[in-house]
Amino acid sequence: MLSVATWNINSARLRLPIIEQYLRDEAPDILCLQEIKCQEHQFPAEALAKLGYEHQAICGQKGYHGVATISRVPIREVTRHDWQANGEARHVGVEVIGKDMRIDNVYVPAGGDVPDREVNAKFGQKLDFLERMTGWADALEHPSLIVGDFNIAPLESDVWSHKQLLKVVSHTPLEVDTLERFKQAHGWVDLGREFIKDPERYYSWWSYRSPDWRKNDRGRRLDHMWASPALAPQATGHRLLEEARSWEKPSDHIPLITEFDI
């Protein structure tokens, strides 16, 4: 068995206590973090190694973005793709030693506030990022798991109000269609929705702007775990930890975890 978790942590240093709490309580074999917001030498590598996560692949930059994959089982970094085409640290790929499995950890750009690339360059950059990912996926040959913050909630049941969010970045038809092209390029299987069936409510993010996130429950499913067709049948379970959104100094995202019989 192998368990893999993903979590947009929104600063690895600031939220080190809840990362440690999660690792002690849930003990995934591998944890993929996004938005670590630090350079590689600033990442709390030693503290996490003391908890048994001594195998680490870190792709960071100063103050923004950044991804890190930490593991209790041997892993080896194999790729860093610049799908943003500007040097931002948004991807790291590893292979799990002794297993026929690669894990790609990605942080897709949020895309700004206006869903129009003519007036909002960030939205265009997001779409272009996804198109570069699609080209990569089209040529992919090995069993892979891609996880992370995709910053898109594709299904109506992935958001608190489909009608009210149709023109809001993360749920616009253009973004959903662009993500679907990426999905079809490799035949990815959306593991979250394999185990938590549409139209069941499934959110992974709640804005800090909401004074009572649980009561208002204006969530979106921005975080995903997708598997190659060859790997997906080996997934045996998937769950999320909503209570982490209420931990002290929480991220606005919660962790997801999938177990594999591999």
Q: Give the pLDDT confidence score for residue 120 in this predicted structure.
A: 98
Strand, coil or helix: what is 36? coil
- Residue-range definition of the domain harbouring residue 235: 2-260
Please name the residues in contact with 241: beta carbons below 8 A apart, sequence gap of 6 or more. 22, 26, 254, 255, 257
Helical spans, DSSP H, in 3-81 = 16-26, 45-49
d(CA 211, CA 190) in angstroms, rounded, equals: 31
Q: Give the pLDDT confidence score for residue 211 in this predicted structure.
A: 79
Pair 224, 180: CB distance under 8 Å = no
N-term to C-term CA, the chain: 6
d(CA 170, CA 159) in angstroms, rounded, equals: 10
Q: Mean pLDDT by 10-residue block, N- to C-terminus, for the chain (262 residues)? A: 98 98 98 98 98 98 98 98 98 97 98 97 98 98 97 98 98 98 98 98 96 94 98 98 97 98 94
Strand, coil or helix: what is 124? helix
Pair 122, 112: CB distance under 8 Å = yes
Specify the CATH number for the domain of residue 135: 3.60.10.10
Q: Please compute Rg for the chain using Cα positions.
A: 17
Number of structural domains, the chain? 1
pTM for this model (two decimals): 0.98
- Count of CB atoms within 10 A of residue 207's CB? 11
d(CA 6, CA 223) in angstroms, rounded, equals: 8
Query: C-alpha distances in angstroms, 163 versus 26, 156, 167, 169, 171?
Result: 36, 9, 9, 13, 10
Q: Give the pLDDT confidence score for residue 210 in this predicted structure.
A: 84
